[in-house]
């Protein structure tokens, strides 16, 4: 298996109270999969992502990528953050080139690569702008281009569209779905938005809080092109709602 | 239009100041050698310009100021960048810094003169001390306040020291460091005069002592005016540089 999480446990002590963020979580992910970690706040989805990305260590259990235990962040696995993490003193092009500098890519090639990925995220012509001159959606596109530019194996996304308005969010969801197919990356995407998860994921890992655990893993057999109002889409979405007990056994009276 | 408006304000403000001065001169019964009129101070200024003394002293003072201020800023920023990254070390250094910081640099003066004699060095040392603490402390706190996401991104993209410092930490902390540098400029300029009054035989501070010894209150006041004007110009220059640099922080200025 490409990514292997086995019996991962993680505890925090917050205000003198112990808090179980991950309780014996096990999860296998194949190369090229689009996985959404879905759940309410406190369910450990971000903790799990941080453990996979190397920002946090689990207390017990193992987290392996490609057979190797994850111990620190790597340039092969890029994380996209909710607040973009762009460097405001660098223009768009220089931001995209950031990772290429540490990979010691020559200057002339850096520009060409930056150009390519800015075009992919629909931002060619914005090279000389600064992050503050861009909208939130555009800034996240720059961050995505910056991540893709170093040609990572895995992209971790931590509620990347959480700060965006609904329309922009949907547009970016479509783009990330297209990019994931074009670039064939393994993507692990944290969200608390059920529709977002159904729209994007090959598999949805449904998580529950207190203690943080995996409730079930739902396959989304919807293919490459997804229609938010299609019958199949709504069927999958309803199944997820059921898992969260948010669909009551309905008794509806119609007054017509 | 805005510039013109502020120029108008400056003229009105300065005119009021001179008017009050003239009024005090007219009503007061002091000897005019002890309390000269604006006109007399202005004449003294012309005299100082004509005999070349003024520009010679300005040059001397500026040399001391630039040397003391810039060496202080460089040392304080470098130290601050290091200490800011090692909070465990800084917690042992901070109490000592807090102890030394409130001591007026002039209090060190007798000691400095005993060690270094009279000349350029005491003034430079005083300016160094005056600028050092505000820049050091603002740098340490700026480094501590860096948005953690920048450090996470750096780790993720494999940016290691020393590139981490000059590519990420310094630019991220710069706006707050610039605040400290700006604050220190005014303080350093104030203590230049104090330093030269005690530890030097030249420069603008010494020119004040010299005027007093010769009972030339007109020269004294003219020198005070010059010190004020240079202070404003230095401040304006620094503001301009700050604005130019902050422009590349994505139009933050």
For residue A175, what is the domain's CATH number? 3.40.50.300
State how far the Cα of A87 lies from the Cα of A15, in Å rounded to an integer.
33
Q: How confident is the model at residue A100 (pLDDT cuts 50, 70, 90)?
A: very high
Indicate the SS3 state at residue A14: strand
Instruction: Tell me the shortest Cα–Cα distance from B157 to chain A, in angstroms.
Output: 5
- Can you give the pLDDT at residue A252? 56
Q: How confident is the model at residue A184 (pLDDT cuts 50, 70, 90)?
A: confident
- Can you give the pLDDT at residue B3? 64
Residue A244 forms part of a structural domain: no
Instruction: Give phi and psi for A242, each to the nearest 5.
Output: -60, -40
Interface of A with B (CB under 8 A): 53, 55, 72-75, 77-79, 81, 83, 85, 87-89, 98-99, 101-103, 130-133, 150
Chain A residues within an 8 Å CB radius of B163: 101-102
- Can you give the pLDDT at residue B23? 93
- My answer on whether A2 and A67 are in the same domain is yes
For B12-49, the pLDDT digits (tens) are 999 999 999 999 999 988 888 888 999 999 999 999 99
- My answer on whether A86 and A72 are in the same domain is no
Residue A228 forms part of a structural domain: no
- My answer on whether A8 and A70 are in the same domain is yes
- My answer on whether A134 and A16 are in the same domain is no
**Average pLDDT over all residues of chain A:** 89
Q: Cis peptide before A211, with omega less than 30 degrees from 0?
A: yes
Residue A47 forms part of a structural domain: yes
The residue assigned the tokens 């002293």 is B57
Summarize chain B as % helix, strand, coil (round to 5): 85, 0, 15
Domain boundaries, given as residue ranges, for chain B: 37-247
Q: Cis peptide before B162, with omega less than 30 degrees from 0?
A: yes
State how far the Cα of B77 lies from the Cα of B120, in Å rounded to an integer.
24
- Domain-terminating residue out of A186, A202, A218: A218
Q: Which residues contact A151 (CB under 8 A, 6 or more apart)?
A: none
Cα B191 to Cα B116, B138, B196, B197: the distances in Å are 17, 20, 8, 10
Chain B residues within an 8 Å CB radius of A102: 157-160, 163
- Can you give the pLDDT at residue A247? 57
For B122-159, the pLDDT digits (tens) are 889 999 999 999 999 999 999 999 999 999 999 999 99
Interface of B with A (CB under 8 A): 149-150, 152-153, 155-160, 163, 167-168, 171-172, 174, 248-252
Chain-chain contact of A89 with B174 (C-beta, under 8 angstroms): yes
- Domain-terminating residue out of A151, A185, A204: A151
Residue A230 forms part of a structural domain: no
- Can you give the pLDDT at residue B106? 87
State how far the Cα of A88 lies from the Cα of A11, in Å rounded to an integer.
35
Q: How many CB pairs below 8 Å do chains A and B form together?
A: 64
Q: Which two tokens stand for residue B159?
A: 């940016």
Chain-chain contact of A75 with B156 (C-beta, under 8 angstroms): yes
Do A218 and A206 touch, CB atoms closer than 8 A?
yes
Q: Does domain B37-247 bear CATH number 1.10.3720.10?
A: yes
A56-90 residues labelled b (16+ CB within 10 A) or e (exposed): bebeebebebeeeebeebbbebbbbbbbbbbbbbb
- Can you give the pLDDT at residue B143? 94
Chain A residues within an 8 Å CB radius of B157: 75, 78, 98-99, 102, 150
- Can you give the pLDDT at residue B253? 37
Residue A100 forms part of a structural domain: yes
State how far the Cα of A144 lies from the Cα of A114, in Å rounded to an integer.
11
Ranked by mean pLDDT, the top range of A251-255, B1-5, B195-199, B210-214 is: B210-214
Chain A residues within an 8 Å CB radius of B150: 85, 87
- My answer on whether A32 and A71 are in the same domain is yes
- For residue B53, pLDDT over 50 is answered with yes
- For residue B1, pLDDT over 70 is answered with no
For A42-72, the pLDDT digits (tens) are 888 999 999 999 999 999 999 999 989 999 9
For B71-88, the pLDDT digits (tens) are 999 999 999 999 999 999
- Out of A75, A81, A87, whose CB is closest to B168? A87
Instruction: Tell me the shortest Cα–Cα distance from B152 to chain A, in angstroms.
Output: 8
- Can you give the pLDDT at residue A126? 92
* Count of structural domains, chain A: 2
HSE at residue B119, side-chain half, CA atoms within 13 A, is 5
- Sequential DSSP letters for A170-205: HHHHHHHHHHHHHHT-EEEEEES-HHHHHHH-SEEE
Chain A residues within an 8 Å CB radius of B153: 81, 85, 87, 98
**Average pLDDT over all residues of chain B:** 89
Chain-chain contact of B171 with A53 (C-beta, under 8 angstroms): no
Instruction: Tell me the shortest Cα–Cα distance from A18 to chain B, in angstroms.
Output: 24
- My answer on whether A28 and A129 are in the same domain is no
- My answer on whether A45 and A86 are in the same domain is no
CA-nearest of A59, A32, A30 to A44 is A59
For A193-220, the pLDDT digits (tens) are 999 999 999 999 999 888 888 888 988 8
Length of chain B measured in residues? 253
Instruction: Tell me the shortest Cα–Cα distance from A154 to chain B, in angstroms.
Output: 12
- My answer on whether A86 and A173 are in the same domain is no
Measure CA of the first residue to CA of the last residue in chain B; give whole Å. Answer: 20
- Can you give the pLDDT at residue B156? 93
Cα–Cα–Cα angle for A35, A41, A43, rounded to 5 degrees: 65
- Domain-terminating residue out of A92, A124, A151: A151
Chain-chain contact of A89 with B250 (C-beta, under 8 angstroms): yes
- My answer on whether A1 and A48 are in the same domain is yes
- Can you give the pLDDT at residue A248? 53
State how far the Cα of A56 lies from the Cα of A50, in Å rounded to an integer.
5
Which residues form the domain of A192?
Answer: 1-76+153-218
Residue A252 forms part of a structural domain: no
- My answer on whether A66 and A179 are in the same domain is yes
- Can you give the pLDDT at residue B252? 46
- Can you give the pLDDT at residue B32? 82
Q: How confident is the model at residue A249 (pLDDT cuts 50, 70, 90)?
A: low
- My answer on whether A71 and A3 are in the same domain is yes
- My answer on whether A143 and A197 are in the same domain is no
**Rg of chain B over CA atoms, in angstroms?**
22
């Amino acid at each position: 298996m490409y990514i292997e999480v086995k019996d991962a446990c993680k505890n925090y002590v917050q205000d003198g109270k112990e808090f179980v963020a991950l309780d014996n979580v096990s999860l296998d992910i194949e190369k090229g999969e689009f996985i959404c970690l879905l759940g309410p706040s406190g369910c450990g989805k971000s903790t799990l992502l941080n453990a996979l990305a190397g920002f946090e260590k689990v207390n017990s259990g193992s987290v392996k990528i490609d057979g190797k235990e994850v111990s620190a962040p790597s340039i092969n696995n890029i994380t996209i953050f909710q607040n973009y993490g762009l460097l405001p003193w660098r223009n768009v092009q220089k931001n995209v080139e950031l990772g290429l500098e540490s990979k010691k890519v020559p200057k002339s090639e850096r520009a060409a690569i930056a150009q390519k990925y800015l075009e992919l995220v629909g931002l060619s012509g914005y090279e000389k702008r600064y992050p503050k001159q861009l909208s939130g959606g555009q800034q996240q596109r720059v961050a995505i281009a910056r991540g893709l530019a170093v040609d990572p194996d895995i992209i971790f996304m931590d509620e990347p569209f959480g700060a965006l308005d609904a329309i922009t969010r949907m547009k970016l969801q479509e783009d990330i779905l297209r990019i994931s197919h074009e670039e064939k990356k393994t993507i692990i995407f944290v969200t608390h938005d059920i529709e977002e998860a159904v729209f994007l994921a090959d598999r949805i890992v449904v998580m529950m809080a207190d203690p943080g655990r995996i409730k079930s893993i739902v396959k989304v057999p919807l293919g490459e092109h997804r229609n938010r109002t299609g019958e199949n889409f709504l069927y999958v979405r309803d199944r997820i709602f059921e898992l969260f007990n948010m669909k009551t056994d309905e008794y509806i009276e119609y007054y017509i | 239009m805005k510039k013109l408006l502020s120029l108008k304000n400056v003229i009105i403000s300065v005119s009021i100041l001179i008017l009050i001065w003239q009024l005090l001169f007219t009503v007061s019964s002091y000897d005019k050698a002890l309390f000269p009129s604006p006109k007399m101070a202005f004449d003294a200024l012309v005299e100082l310009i004509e005999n070349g003394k003024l520009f010679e002293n300005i040059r001397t003072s500026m040399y001391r100021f630039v040397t003391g201020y810039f060496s202080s800023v460089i040392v304080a920023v470098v130290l601050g960048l290091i200490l800011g990254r090692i909070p465990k070390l800084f917690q042992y250094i901070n109490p000592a810094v807090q102890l030394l910081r409130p001591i007026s640099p002039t209090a060190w003066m007798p000691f400095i003169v005993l060690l270094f004699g009279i000349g350029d060095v005491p003034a430079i040392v005083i300016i160094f001390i005056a600028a050092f603490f505000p820049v050091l402390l603002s740098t340490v706190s700026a480094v501590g306040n860096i948005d953690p996401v920048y450090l996470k991104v750096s780790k993720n993209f494999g940016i290691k020291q020393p590139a981490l410092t000059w590519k990420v930490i310094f630019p991220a902390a710069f706006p707050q460091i610039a605040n400290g540098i700006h604050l220190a400029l005014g303080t350093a300029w104030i203590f230049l005069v104090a330093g030269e009054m005690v530890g030097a035989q030249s420069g603008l501070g010494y020119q004040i002592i010299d005027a007093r010894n010769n009972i030339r209150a007109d020269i004294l006041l003219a020198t005070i005016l010059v010190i004020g004007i240079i202070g404003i110009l230095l401040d304006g220059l620094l503001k301009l540089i700050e604005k130019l640099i902050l422009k590349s922080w994505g139009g933050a200025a």
